[in-house]
């Protein structure tokens, strides 16, 4: 009995010790990576590192992403569908004043709350039209990479529509010393340096979003040579070299984790962001469609999880998992909570991955894009004559409406298969498709005429989703962002900078003594109107706190005792950004505690007017530049 009790106690001590150790998280995105382009799917492209990681972990064979770049990244970062962030149409283009909405909470912010050091390397493509949209304002402690969705892998130049600009940054500063260096290698090297320099006393979240294997098709020649005589098609041969270079780079990153001693407590997630572009050498066979489409070839992703922490590794999971699930899964795995987020569309699927439990997800919305065609039909009837581009998966069934995108099956370039007649059957006229995806993942057997009740059921469910959608955010490009106006650099939109600076200066100078309602009235009703009368552009919904303080800075203030409401945050900005001694109201009486904590190591002088020597203390503080807190002023 004593021996059993001892074993029980030892087991629980081990379990608790392991459970209290927050895992490091390495999340890797491959860009435009085709379903048929990884070794463990039978590809002729060599991916020994990915194959080993996948086969020793859990391969996700019922894993879904969004059909294009920005939506997948925004969904992973927020845990919310495209229809709930306004990013349901297209990607964010250079010079477009658009981003993940600033009131969305990112996974980096939640992990930071749990004590993680958060770093991003690679492709952002989530908006940068003002500094508040940048990665280091969205929860990441550091950033090195490109802000847009595409660019030359060596020169790091993006050329589109007559514009051409340089796009590579370290945090918010343009970094030019990497000109001429291949993007896959510089991003892997940066990731290795982040790992090497990481203080192991804190857990690490590293988001590594390769620019590879997105076009342009570029890679050092030695990576192409290994496919001479193996792959006849020149584009695919170059693309294969890009895949091999990325595979090698990932191996270098994981090796650095091992050398640092972090690997045994690391969870690695690998994911594509969408299907491959078949015209540029990628391949999604045997799936139908490609990047940009809602067919399986556009949205069924290559994905796996590897970790020494997995309870049941070395298996293939066919449970339904979506890219939105990473947000709640990783936050919970990190010991965090989901308070303060908007309603999430993702599910915590850790036990599905870790032990093989059934997925809590039984359906997923692939997307509804109302820009393609208008929503038409009597609400509640499912009686559509024309439908938006949309797709929905419920259980084994998948419904597509409108024009879901390129619907062809594309075998490898050297294949003898001829699918021309099959590829173009009914594609131009049919606007509604039903498939049993569990039985027919290649979407060859369209069943809408055989199951009209199932069609109606799914249309009604699609309409329910549509009722929760927010308006599409897809503004026109801003001419003020033309790189020619900024020394050939792709910059955030500075068209609002002058107006926003005027508003911030006014707020900093005059708003401190007033309560929240009057502050809002000053900005929204008085000052913005005056700025517009002067024909000076400003942000329509200007936020003083967002303009002058990073979210990471605000979180640090909260840790030091500053309340998290908007009024207190504004006071924090006034205290730390003003050039003269600020005067503020503090109705909650908590700012004093925060100021004492913040300035404790800076020689803070606390003065009470009831003290007989308060003038001498004040004079000395002014003379030596010490911070002063004058309290209990009646």
pLDDT at 481: 82
For residues 84-104, average pLDDT: 94
For the chain, the first-to-last Cα distance in angstroms comes to 70
- In which band, very low, low, confident or very high, does the pLDDT at 424 lie, cut at 50, 70 and 90? very low
Q: Which residues contact 617 (CB under 8 A, 6 or more apart)?
A: 605, 607, 611
Phi/psi of residue 397, nearest 5 degrees = -100, 145
Cβ atoms of 35 and 278 closer than 8 Å:
no
- Which of 147-161, 174-188, 202-216, 578-592 shows the lowest per-residue confidence on average (mean pLDDT)? 578-592
User: Could you give the strand order of the β-sheet that contains 204-209, starting from the edge strand earlier in sequence?
Assistant: 173-174, 169-170, 142-146, 117-123, 204-209, 24-30, 266-272, 303-306, 58-60, 315-317
**Which domains does the chain show, CATH number per domain?**
24-376+387-409+427-468 (3.40.720.10), 481-590 (1.20.920.20), 601-633 (no CATH)
pLDDT at 343: 98
- In which band, very low, low, confident or very high, does the pLDDT at 19 lie, cut at 50, 70 and 90? very low
- Which of 320-334, 339-353, 513-527 shows the lowest per-residue confidence on average (mean pLDDT)? 513-527
User: Which one, of 617, 599, 600, lies nearest residue 608 by Cα?
Assistant: 617
- In which band, very low, low, confident or very high, does the pLDDT at 427 lie, cut at 50, 70 and 90? low
- In which band, very low, low, confident or very high, does the pLDDT at 368 lie, cut at 50, 70 and 90? very high
> Per-residue pLDDT tens for 164-193?
999 999 999 999 999 999 999 999 999 999
Q: Which residues contact 520 (CB under 8 A, 6 or more apart)?
A: none
pLDDT at 614: 74
Cβ atoms of 265 and 21 closer than 8 Å:
yes
- Which of 158-162, 197-201, 629-633 shows the lowest per-residue confidence on average (mean pLDDT)? 629-633
What number of other Cβ atoms are within 10 A of residue 560's Cβ? 16
> Per-residue pLDDT tens for 271-294?
999 999 999 999 999 999 999 999
Strands 389-394 and 363-369: antiparallel
> Per-residue pLDDT tens for 462-515?
999 999 999 999 998 888 788 877 778 877 666 677 788 888 888 888 787 787
Chain mean pLDDT for the chain: 87
Look at 241 and 484; give whichever has higher pLDDT: 241
Q: Which residues contact 461 (CB under 8 A, 6 or more apart)?
A: 363, 392, 394
pLDDT at 20: 41
Look at 207 and 493; give whichever has higher pLDDT: 207
pLDDT at 561: 79
- In which band, very low, low, confident or very high, does the pLDDT at 571 lie, cut at 50, 70 and 90? confident
Look at 373 and 561; give whichever has higher pLDDT: 561
Catalytic residue ranges: 69, 125
Q: Does residue 397 carry a pLDDT above 80?
A: yes
Look at 248 and 598; give whichever has higher pLDDT: 248
For residues 313-336, average pLDDT: 98
List of E strands, 538-619: 605-608
Q: Does residue 143 carry a pLDDT above 80?
A: yes
User: Which one, of 39, 64, 61, 56, lies nearest residue 306 by Cα?
Assistant: 56
pLDDT at 577: 80
Q: 393: helix, coil or strand?
A: strand
Look at 549 and 102; give whichever has higher pLDDT: 102
List of E strands, 186-338: 204-209, 266-272, 303-306, 315-317, 321-322
Q: Does residue 86 carry a pLDDT above 90?
A: yes
For residues 242-265, average pLDDT: 99
pLDDT at 375: 44
- In which band, very low, low, confident or very high, does the pLDDT at 5 lie, cut at 50, 70 and 90? very low
For residues 592-610, average pLDDT: 76
pLDDT at 433: 96
Please give the structure tokens belonging to residue 132. Answer: 């508040």
Q: Does residue 6 carry a pLDDT above 50?
A: no
Look at 374 and 586; give whichever has higher pLDDT: 586
- Which of 92-96, 414-418, 458-462, 612-616 shows the lowest per-residue confidence on average (mean pLDDT)? 414-418
- Which of 188-197, 568-577, 599-608 shows the lowest per-residue confidence on average (mean pLDDT)? 599-608
Q: Does residue 594 carry a pLDDT above 60?
A: yes
Q: Does residue 197 carry a pLDDT above 70?
A: yes
pLDDT at 600: 72
- In which band, very low, low, confident or very high, does the pLDDT at 214 lie, cut at 50, 70 and 90? very high
For residues 527-541, average pLDDT: 77
- Which of 14-18, 175-179, 420-424, 614-618 shows the lowest per-residue confidence on average (mean pLDDT)? 14-18
Q: Does residue 115 carry a pLDDT above 90?
A: yes
Look at 344 and 584; give whichever has higher pLDDT: 344
For residues 98-112, average pLDDT: 97
Q: Does residue 41 carry a pLDDT above 90?
A: yes
pLDDT at 380: 54
- Which of 23-27, 146-150, 470-474, 601-605 shows the lowest per-residue confidence on average (mean pLDDT)? 601-605
């Amino acid at each position: 009995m004593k021996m059993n009790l001892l074993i029980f106690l030892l087991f629980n001590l081990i379990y608790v010790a392991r459970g209290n150790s927050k895992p490091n998280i390495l999340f890797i995105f491959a860009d435009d990576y085709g379903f048929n382009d990884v070794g463990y799917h039978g590809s002729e492209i060599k991916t020994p590192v990915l194959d080993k990681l996948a086969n020793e972990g859990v391969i996700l064979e019922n894993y879904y992403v969004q059909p294009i770049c920005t939506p997948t990244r925004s969904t992973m970062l927020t845990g919310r569908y495209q229809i709930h962030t306004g990013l349901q149409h297209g990607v964010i283009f250079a010079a477009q004043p658009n981003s993940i909405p600033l009131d969305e909470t990112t996974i980096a912010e939640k992990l930071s709350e749990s004590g993680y050091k958060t770093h991003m390397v690679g492709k952002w493509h989530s908006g940068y039209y003002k500094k508040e949209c940048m990665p280091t304002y969205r929860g990441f402690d550091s950033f090195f990479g490109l802000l847009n969705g595409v660019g030359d892998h060596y020169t790091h130049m993006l050329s589109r529509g007559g514009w051409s600009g340089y796009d590579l940054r370290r945090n918010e500063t343009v970094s030019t010393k990497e000109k001429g260096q291949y993007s896959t290698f510089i991003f892997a090297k940066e990731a290795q340096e982040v790992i090497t320099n990481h203080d192991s006393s804190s857990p690490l979240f590293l988001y590594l979003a390769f620019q590879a294997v997105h076009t342009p098709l570029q890679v050092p020649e030695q990576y192409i040579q290994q496919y001479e005589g193996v792959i006849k098609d020149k584009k695919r041969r170059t693309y294969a070299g890009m895949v091999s270079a990325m595979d090698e780079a990932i191996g270098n990153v994981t090796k650095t984790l091992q050398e640092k001693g972090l690997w045994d407590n690391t969870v690695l997630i690998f994911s594509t962001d969408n299907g491959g572009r078949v015209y540029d050498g990628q391949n999604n066979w045997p799936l139908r469609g490609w990047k940009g489409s809602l067919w399986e070839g556009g949205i069924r992703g290559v994905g796996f999880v590897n970790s020494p922490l997995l309870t049941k590794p070395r298996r293939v999971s066919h449970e339904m998992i979506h890219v939105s699930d990473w947000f709640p899964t990783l936050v919970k795995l990190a010991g965090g909570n989901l308070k303060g987020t908007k309603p999430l569309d993702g599910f915590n699927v850790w036990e599905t991955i870790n032990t093989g439990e059934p997925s809590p997800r039984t359906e997923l919305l692939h997307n509804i894009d109302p820009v393609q065609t208008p929503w038409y039909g009597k609400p509640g009837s499912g009686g559509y004559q024309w439908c938006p581009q949309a797709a929905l998966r419920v259980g084994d069934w998948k419904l597509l409406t409108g024009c879901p995108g390129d619907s062809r099956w594309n075998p490898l370039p050297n294949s003898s298969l001829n699918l021309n007649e099959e590829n173009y059957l009914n594609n131009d006229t049919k606007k509604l498709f039903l498939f049993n995806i569990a039985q027919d993942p290649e979407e060859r057997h369209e069943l809408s005429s055989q199951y009209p009740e199932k069609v109606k059921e799914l249309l009604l469910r699609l309409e329910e989703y549509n009722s929760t959608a927010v308006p599409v955010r897809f503004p026109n490009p801003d001419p003020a962002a033309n790189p020619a106006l900024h020394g050939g650099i792709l910059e955030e939109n500075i068209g609002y900078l002058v107006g926003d600076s005027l508003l911030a200066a006014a707020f900093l100078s005059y708003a401190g003594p007033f309560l929240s309602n009057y502050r809002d009235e000053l900005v929204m009703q008085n000052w913005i109107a005056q700025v517009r009368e002067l024909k000076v552009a400003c942000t329509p919904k200007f936020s003083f706190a967002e303009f002058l303080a990073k979210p990471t800075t605000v979180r640090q203030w909260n840790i030091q005792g500053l309340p998290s409401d908007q009024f207190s945050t504004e006071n924090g900005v006034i205290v730390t950004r003003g050039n003269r001694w600020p005067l503020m109201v503090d109705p909650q009486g908590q700012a004093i505690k925060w100021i004492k904590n913040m300035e404790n190591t800076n020689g803070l002088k606390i003065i009470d007017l009831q003290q007989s020597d308060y003038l001498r203390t004040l004079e000395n503080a002014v003379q030596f530049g010490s911070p002063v807190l004058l309290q209990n002023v009646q």
